[in-house]
Amino acid sequence: MSGTTDPNPWQDNRGNKDRSITRSSTAGGVGAADAAAGGAVRPVAPGAAGSAFLVGERMTGGYGAADILTDCTIEARAGEIAVIVGPNGAGKSTAMKAIFGMLTLRSGRVRIGGEDITHLSPQARVGKGMAFVPQTNNVFPSMSVEENLEMGAFLRQDDFRGTMEQVFELFPVLKQKRRQAAGELSGGQRQQVAVGRALMTEPKVLMLDEPTAGVSPIVMDELFDRIVEVARTGITILMVEQNARQALEIADRGYVLVQGRNAYTGTGAELLGNPEVRRTFLGG
């Protein structure tokens, strides 16, 4: 864990130092456990990620009397892209909120880097390295692009200008439009602002709820490329996506949620190759 030659521009001294810049597809990721299990897509596989960096374990809870999540487990190893898919109302956003601490769980735990954070506030979780881009209202529309990014650095005491330059390298159009109000940007550009703002915290885990909602297929592909780029720096990505097929193509680990439960769990490739998952959730 030496910080001086850290190749990850996003995390200075805080992150996962055991990642090379190139992710090794799925080998040694979910794949290792799956090979041992015969390679099948399992109905439920809590704990399959073994030494996962981010763990929402057997989460049960909701907004009131009725549980939305039931025994739901979501995990990601350091530097992986984990993707949650499933029908509308399945509880995908609720699972994200639970992991970020916006929902009190009736049972289950949340851990980051082995530390139990189940009872921490969202703000305290940001301090532990979590960043969350919610599904809606994820930018300040009347503020400039630059001000939005500065808001992301709100909790930081150090000089964040270097991080802002890295965000501009990742999303060059934001540099051009840095003085423009975020509300005037296109949908895809606003999503870049939202992701950029989250990166300003130098997170270890970046959580994205439908980052490509409402953008064109080309913009979606570009955004996925940038997300892969971020993951290659060692940041763990947990993402909810409507564009299930495309998202699973870049996923190391995939979760299909149905009615708040784990319906299918596997590598992205396994889920894409599973006839039942294809027929029921991917349109054949």
Could you give the strand order of the β-sheet that contains 81-85, starting from the edge strand earlier in sequence? 130-133, 205-209, 236-240, 81-85, 253-258, 261-266
Query: Binding-site residue total for ligand ADP (CB under 6 A)?
Result: 10
Task: Give the range of 3-11, 32-40, 89-97, 194-202 binding ligand ADP by CB under 6 A.
Answer: 89-97
Nearer to Mg ion, 63 or 154 (CB): 63
Q: Any contact of residue 91 with ligand ADP (CB under 6 A)?
A: yes
* Choice between 93 and 201, CB closer to Mg ion: 93
Least spacing, CB of residue 237 vs ligand ADP, in Å: 17
Q: Does 68 engage in binding with ligand ADP (CB under 6 A)?
A: yes
Query: 73 contacts which partner out of Mg ion, ligand ADP, none, CB within 5 to 8 A by kind?
Result: none
**Which of 24, 63, 156, 184 touches ligand ADP (CB under 6 A)?**
63
Q: Does 89 bind ligand ADP (CB under 6 A)?
A: yes
Residue in 2, 4, 88, 157 binding ligand ADP, rule: CB under 6 A: 88
**190 is a site residue for ligand ADP (CB under 6 A):** no
User: Binding marks (x or -) toward ligand ADP, 122..141, rule CB under 6 A?
Assistant: --------------------
Interface with Mg ion (CB under 5 A): 92-93
Q: Does 236 bind ligand ADP (CB under 6 A)?
A: no
Q: Counting contacts by CB under 6 A, is residue 94 touching ligand ADP?
A: yes
Binding site for ligand ADP (CB under 6 A): 63, 68, 86, 88-94
